[in-house]
Structure 1
Amino acid sequence: MAIGWWANAQKNDQQLLSGNLIASGLTAAHLGLLGSNLGMVNQLLNLLRFACCRYCKKLRKRYMFCLPVLFATFALIQGLTLAQHWSEWAAVTSAILMSFALFYCVGSKLRIAMLFSNLLNLTLSVYLNSWSGIAYQVVTIVILSHSLLPQKMVEYDTEHAV
């Protein structure tokens, strides 16, 4: 959880992607142990998605259309073959959203997409009764929401009150 929280708090997109890549691998193991095959396979797909987006930066223009469609198709196939509950379809929807967001969005737009993705994934954590998953998603939602708020400097009056 700490790796994912650290990653989502980063202002640098590359650090955001790298941290989420590691967190996806760990989450895949966690969901597999909880018995959610769809969740596990979905997180392994996330791992590949983050890796491709992170490491294929130079190839990005050539594969800008191909890779997101390929990842979204794999997510849809996962849903059709493994989804057994509506909350698992929310996770599939999240995977389809992130398939495009990772390749087409940067900065605040990427974080907004990740915020919606985490809201969708929260439903799966609630369904699985995974308190650690719920905690992770809720804290991540708070971190991403905070990072999207405009930061205003409070100006204090330096004169003494009379």
Structure 2
Amino acid sequence: MFELSHQSLFWVQALGFVSMAIGWWANAQKSDQQLLSGNLIASGLTAIHLGLLGSNLGLFNQLLNMLRFAICRKRVTRAKRSSIYLPLVFASLAFLQGLMWANHWTEWCAVASAVLMSFALFYAKGSELRIAMLMSNLLNLTLSVYLLSWSGIAYQVITIVILSYSLLPVKTLNHSTKPAC
């Protein structure tokens, strides 16, 4: 790992916070397209952030996420999304990353998260996709806690809250059908 000057470190950390904000915005979207597009951008910025901080596993994991989000964003119809090959390739690449770099059970939780998302992004939509992303964030939270990564913990916890809130049923009052007493 190389050393960054204090000023450089400030800008690298700032990039991480920008990525976090974009990720939170993306996860709050009702549209699957916006969810995927926002996470694509956030993954790209996070890849640069983690690469500059010297984390090869983080860099390559985020590049894999970018590729998954980009492909899923372009695959609009469910019939085209039903191919088993792409999810298997992405899951295999995530598992291979784990074999190469994972040294602790929490890192294997992050690998499990990547495998889960390899299938969820291609087969789930709407609330199913958000439930898978919620589970993925819970798995990734274990690694953030283990590493004592405060920005990682903050990102995961707030994302879990955003996704949980988006899954709550929305009750609307129908005033037009009930007569006033």
Q: State the TM-score, normalizing by the size of structure 2.
A: 0.79
Q: Distance in 1 between matches of 2:58 and 2:64?
A: 10
Aligned to 1:94: 113
| Structure 2 residue ranges without an equivalent (≥5) | 1-19
Given the alignment of the two structures, is residue 120 of structure 1 paired with residue 139 of structure 2, yes or no? yes
The farther-off stretch of 31-40 and 135-144 is 31-40
- The superposition leaves residues 36-77 of structure 1 with CA deviations (integer Å, 9 ceiling, x where unpaired) of 322221111111110111124369627721110000000010
Q: Helix, strand or coil: the match of 1:6?
A: helix
In the comparison of the two structures, how many residue pairs are matched? 160
Give runs of aligned pairs for residues 17-56 of structure 1, distance below 5 A. Answer: 17-56=36-75
RMSD over equivalenced CA pairs, Å = 2.6
Structure showing greater relative contact order (alpha-carbon pairs closer than 8 Å, 6 or more residues apart): 1
Retained in 2: the 8 A contact 1:94–1:120?
A: yes
| Structure 1 residue ranges without an equivalent (≥5) | none
Retained in 2: the 8 A contact 1:39–1:91?
A: no
Retained in 2: the 8 A contact 1:39–1:88?
A: no
Aligned to 2:85: 66
Once the two structures are TM-superposed, the CA of residue 16 in structure 1 deviates from its matched residue by 0.2
- The 3 A distance-change label for structure 1 pair 30 and 78 is same
Retained in 1: the 8 A contact 2:82–2:123?
A: no
Q: Distance in 1 between matches of 2:135 and 2:81?
A: 27
Q: State the TM-score, normalizing by the size of structure 1.
A: 0.88
Once the two structures are TM-superposed, the CA of residue 88 in structure 1 deviates from its matched residue by 0.9
